[in-house]
Structure 1
Amino acid sequence: MSESDQKSERHAQGMQTRRNVLGDAYVNGAEARKTSFDGPFQELIVEAAWGHVWSRPQWTPRMRSIVTIALLAALGHDEEVAMHVRATANTGATQEDIGEALLHVAIYAGVPAANHAIKIVKQTYKEMEAEAGKEAGDA
């Protein structure tokens, strides 16, 4: 198998995993916003993060979700924390899982990082509940 075939397979697997975790609406929006400037970066994310790391069978999506949120919180990547909290609807990570992860963040990365992430997570869950209520009302 050639390197380009492997790349193509990795990209296809990555895109499928990305859709499974983040949802079609998010991925479609990201693809629509992609430009020639950030296209190479987007390809890197799809192949490396989603195709190589998130697609590995050793951990479940739930486990990867918990670890990812903890790492993003520790590093202060607020928008990414919120995005991955939204993804828990697809990965199976629970609010209890995320709470436990943020306790680890507090001990190993610092209370301010965990405290800030907790605010983001609470706001994101509140938005998700409101959106779910709105969708239930539309049905």
Structure 2
Amino acid sequence: MADSDLFNQGMATRRAVLGDAHVDSATARKTGFDEAFQTFITEGAWGSVWSRPGLTRRERSIITLALLAGLGHEEEFAMHVRATVNTGATEEDIKELLLHVAVYAGVPAANSAYRIAKQELAKRQEAAQ
């Protein structure tokens, strides 16, 4: 059972960070199999954590990118690089956080993340032209 206030706050934050197109697509793909998981993500990650006042969205974005890169979660890392357009995290922030990833999580993890970040940032640049 969803906590409607937490779910609604989470959905608003999720949309603000990831964009309506991404959230609409994820919602359209939801089935009975993953419905509880999608609710959990919306309430837990987006409603309980991303919606807290203690850090800015930019700071949360930087932390999230570093963790995803360090853990090798490439698809989620790419999604959160795309989301930086909404969070205020900059290309410079990504460069700096990936140096930390290299030191604390390993060069191979950072190397993969640099490749993905370059691809996503290049796509953004192309779309802006």
Q: Tell me whether the two structures share a fold, i.e. TM-score over 0.5.
A: yes
1:75 to 44, 47, 71: 71
> Aligned residue pairs: how many?
129
- SS of the equivalent of 2:32 reads coil
1:127 to 114, 118, 123: 123
- Identity rate of aligned residues, in percent? 63
Letter in 2 for 1:109: A
User: What are structure 1's unaligned runs of at least 5 residues?
Assistant: 134-139
Structure 1 partner of 2:102 = 106
Runs of 4+ in 1 over 6 A off after TM superposition: none
Give the TM-score taking structure 1 as reference length. 0.90
Give the TM-score taking structure 2 as reference length. 0.97
Structure 1 vs Structure 2 CA RMSD: 1.1
Letter in 2 for 1:88: T
Is the radius of gyration larger for structure 1 or structure 2? 1
For residues 39-69 of structure 1, the C-alpha deviation after alignment (integer angstroms, 9 at most, x for no partner) is: 1110000000000000000000000000000
Alignment of 1:16-55 (within 5 A): 16-55=12-51
Structure 2 partner of 1:116 = 112
For residues 95-123 of structure 1, the C-alpha deviation after alignment (integer angstroms, 9 at most, x for no partner) is: 00111110110000001100110000000
User: What are structure 2's unaligned runs of at least 5 residues?
Assistant: none
